């Protein structure tokens, strides 16, 4: 690509990570190199198994001890996110990836794992050809303003409200 854009998938509805992973799959199929950084996630999700099968095209790294969306982050969560953000900065500087996905980056700024200013600097520092995708609820208005494409997933109805837990291959 000659010009990469900044995409944001936010909102309280299901599908932000799923959309980003779908884009990663599409990009890999087109011969692009993809880097996915998952913040606030350290659990074994089904997508990890699928991505291992695509080794060489998609690199995925997790920078979280566990999902902490319903609690304040621990010192370990903060340290892992800080390390992860440094890895992402290096990946952006290297320019070897065509698509870089920061899964739950908006959660990262909301919980102050890294600052909105750092994320804005990363957006500005990316090489012109790099497509950057930021996911997670609570997208800061400054990130939304800087993005080229913003999609809000809004929950209208979800079976989770009826007690259905995350199912392997669908939510997990």
The predicted-structure confidence for 137-157, as pLDDT tens digits, reads as follows: 999 999 999 999 999 999 888
Q: Average pLDDT, stretch 30-41? A: 92
Res 83 pLDDT > 70: yes
pLDDT of residue 26: 95
Domain boundaries, the chain: 6-162
Res 108 pLDDT > 80: yes
Q: Are 136 and 18 spatial neighbours (Cβ–Cβ below 8 Å)?
A: no
Percentage of the chain exceeding pLDDT 70: 95
97-120 burial string, b = 16+ CB within 10 Å, else e? bbbbbbbbbbbbbbbebbebebbb
Res 69 pLDDT > 70: no
Q: Average pLDDT, stretch 41-45? A: 73
pLDDT of residue 110: 95
Superfamily of domain 6-162: P-loop containing nucleotide triphosphate hydrolases (3.40.50.300)
Res 114 pLDDT > 80: yes
Res 32 pLDDT > 80: yes
Residue 70 is given by DSSP the state T
Res 105 pLDDT > 80: yes
Question: Which tokens go with 12?
Answer: 């309280």
Q: Average pLDDT, stretch 158-166? A: 80
């Amino acid at each position: 690509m000659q010009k990469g854009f900044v995409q944001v998938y936010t909102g309280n509805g299901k599908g932000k990570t799923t959309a980003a992973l779908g884009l990663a799959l599409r990009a890999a199929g087109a011969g692009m190199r993809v880097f996915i950084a998952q913040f606030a996630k350290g659990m074994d999700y089904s997508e990890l198994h699928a991505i291992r099968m695509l080794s060489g095209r998609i690199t995925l790294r997790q920078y979280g001890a566990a999902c902490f969306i319903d609690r304040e982050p621990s010192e370990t969560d903060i340290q892992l996110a800080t390390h992860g953000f440094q890895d992402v900065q290096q990946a952006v500087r290297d320019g070897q990836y065509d698509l870089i996905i920061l899964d739950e980056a908006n959660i990262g700024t909301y919980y102050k794992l890294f600052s909105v200013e750092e994320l804005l600097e990363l957006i500005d520092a990316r090489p012109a050809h790099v497509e950057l995708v930021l996911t997670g609820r609570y997208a800061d208005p400054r990130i939304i303003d800087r993005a080229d494409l913003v999609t809000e997933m809004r929950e209208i109805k979800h079976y989770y409200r009826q007690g259905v837990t995350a199912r392997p291959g669908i939510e997990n």
